[in-house]
Structure 1
């Protein structure tokens, strides 16, 4: 079986992390389990030819050049992303009516991980499967169309949680298979015992509340900022705390949200430390050294960053979403708004609790198990798996 996995970026976003880990788990299973080759296709923005971290050399990496255009509107960037990736993939995979059926001439399975890559494949005339990690609400017309088509038209759908699968069923009348994420629990557990790495972060940042994923609406960063300000003002015990934000590479334009965040931070007399993308080897110790992870997203598909924090033994304060109740259970503290987050952060700092249940939960999700379930899904086929004309 020749498998193409497609994602939209080389940067460390959740869907990209998922794509690479799944690709590596699939090639590790190898021919004994019917896997002959796995290629990952992506857009190489800004001259990128590789991903944010080294990839198992058994995985083929096909980064399609995607130069930046100054002043390009979001909608035009999305359309160009779809066109550029679609043209490159269609040329390789055979395009409409390709000899390889659902996968075109080169692949037996084509599996897109986001709306941009799904639209690219569909535009190339190749049927594809798609993982819907989470559902979003957009106002940009091009994004609205991209999002809807990427749920409605792929030959088969998977979701990483039952909660998101239920949203897809309610909104589109489709029944995705549920295949949970894997978690590289051992890597983040190792971060907890990386004394040198943790000490370096402690020297640089002091004691900190950590947020991952950048400053953007979906991550609910403004709510965490408000809660942090209240927390720090509530007691001398918290006066030394810093708010640290890591990550945040995206194709979308969140400048207005970032401006609102910066203005509100200044009004609250908070100076967050905004790290931007963190070098992959340094991430586990950054997470492990955090006093608490603030996970206040308003939309999530699984909660991978929260799982990684649990693997590192770090307490987590999470927004109370059905999907996060489903996946994280009683291993984290939940809140529905700023007041709740403030109280939960205070409790996590004062009484972190036993990390063992969280560590065990994170370790129970493996990428090998995820890869095996994907192979079962691929083998089942779909009535829509046919060349597109």
Structure 2
């Protein structure tokens, strides 16, 4: 089977991580897989090496004019990918985001990782078309599938993410100690500073937590995104100054260094207000790091007894404090077992089963 997996970026965002891991697992099963994406900022490759069995088509996406609005950048992204991609050679065209689904005018399978609510008109229209127009849908959790059922009358298949369990479960002790020597004791979050990640709530929680743990640091990794969150980031920085705290913002961390950064953390905070699965949080469980997540139905579904849950900044501070000071072998064992069950090989087999149900042509 010839399969095209379409994404919008080469950077380590959740959907891109998903795309590459799925492509590699499908190729390992003997399928002919090509990943198409946009190379932003001069990128000619992905953020990590990709299995040679996967073909890569990275379409150059030149920088736009200074101050290019988000809406115009979205429309330009769609147009550039549409002009480059020819669906004719493929048995399955599978888009992982609204940009790539729009680039093929909805003639695709679409994985809806989570449902967004945009205010930028071009983004809102892009999101709506990318839900309505594809002829088949996959979601990574039952909660998101239920949102599509209620909001659009769709019946998506549910195929959870895999996780690179071994990468996070077997990190180098020296690499972990190197992070601890550099950062001290820390709470980690991965995903950057943006509204969906609950970054302002995490600031408030950290300010409360620091009073009981004066040497503790808040470390934030990741964050490359297509969207413009400058105003939110400015509010976040202003609030940090008001609270008298200085989180450590690492930005994008090299792929080979990320597992040890995660494993060296005292706790992992995942206060997102909108998620479809929570891959970064699942990686923390693989690394035996105590996990505190937002009280959301989807995160209850995915993490169950393996995580602690918090609805407010006050709850988040309290649960992080407990995670830092209380050894919980039951949650740790549950987290290991949960992460180990979510393999990309199983996700790939389920995708192939699903592709087999699609109408020919």
TM category (shorter chain) comes to over 0.9
Q: Which residue of 1 aligns with 2:127?
A: 147
Q: Which residue of 2 aligns with 1:380?
A: 357
- Say if 2:201 and 2:313, in contact at 8 Å, map to a contact too: yes
1:23 maps onto 2:32 in alignment: no
1:290 maps onto 2:270 in alignment: no
TM-score (norm 2): 0.98
1:71 maps onto 2:85 in alignment: no
Alignment match of 1:324 (pick from 299, 302, 310): 299
Kindly provide the CA deviation profile for residues 113-157 of structure 1, in whole angstroms up to 9, marking residues without a partner as x: 0001100111xxx72100000001100000000000000000100
Kindly provide the CA deviation profile for residues 347-378 of structure 1, in whole angstroms up to 9, marking residues without a partner as x: 10111411221011100010000000000111
Q: Distance in 2 between matches of 1:87 and 1:171?
A: 31
Gaps in structure 1 of 5+ consecutive residues? 94-103
Q: Distance in 2 between matches of 1:167 and 1:357?
A: 27
Alignment match of 2:230 (pick from 246, 255, 276): 255
1:296 positional shift: 0.1
Q: Which residue of 1 aligns with 2:280?
A: 305
1:178 maps onto 2:158 in alignment: yes
- Say if 1:133 and 1:302, in contact at 8 Å, map to a contact too: yes
- Say if 2:138 and 2:157, in contact at 8 Å, map to a contact too: yes
- Say if 2:101 and 2:107, in contact at 8 Å, map to a contact too: no
Q: Distance in 2 between matches of 1:249 and 1:120?
A: 21
Q: Which residue of 2 aligns with 1:14?
A: 14
| Structure 2 residue matching 1:43: 3-state secondary structure | strand
Q: Which residue of 2 aligns with 1:226?
A: 204
Q: Distance in 1 between matches of 2:139 and 2:327?
A: 32
Q: Distance in 2 between matches of 1:196 and 1:231?
A: 28
- Say if 2:4 and 2:90, in contact at 8 Å, map to a contact too: yes
1:241 maps onto 2:216 in alignment: yes
353-362 vs 210-219, which moves further: 353-362
291-300 vs 347-356, which moves further: 347-356
1:71 positional shift: 1.0
Q: Which residue of 2 aligns with 1:38?
A: 33
Q: Which residue of 2 aligns with 1:350?
A: 325
Kindly provide the CA deviation profile for residues 254-305 of structure 1, in whole angstroms up to 9, marking residues without a partner as x: 0001000000001111101100000000000000000000100000000111
Q: Distance in 2 between matches of 1:25 and 1:255?
A: 36
| Structure 2 residue matching 1:21: 3-state secondary structure | helix
Q: Distance in 2 between matches of 1:352 and 1:161?
A: 29
Q: Which residue of 2 aligns with 1:3?
A: 3
| Structure 1 residue matching 2:39: 3-state secondary structure | strand
Kindly provide the CA deviation profile for residues 19-44 of structure 1, in whole angstroms up to 9, marking residues without a partner as x: 000000000000xxxx2x10000010
- Say if 1:109 and 1:378, in contact at 8 Å, map to a contact too: yes
Q: Which residue of 2 aligns with 1:58?
A: 53
Q: Which residue of 2 aligns with 1:201?
A: 179
Q: Distance in 2 between matches of 1:162 and 1:116?
A: 23
1:199 positional shift: 1.3
1:200 positional shift: 1.2
| Structure 1 residue matching 2:284: 3-state secondary structure | helix
- Say if 1:315 and 1:352, in contact at 8 Å, map to a contact too: no
Moved over 6 A (4+): none
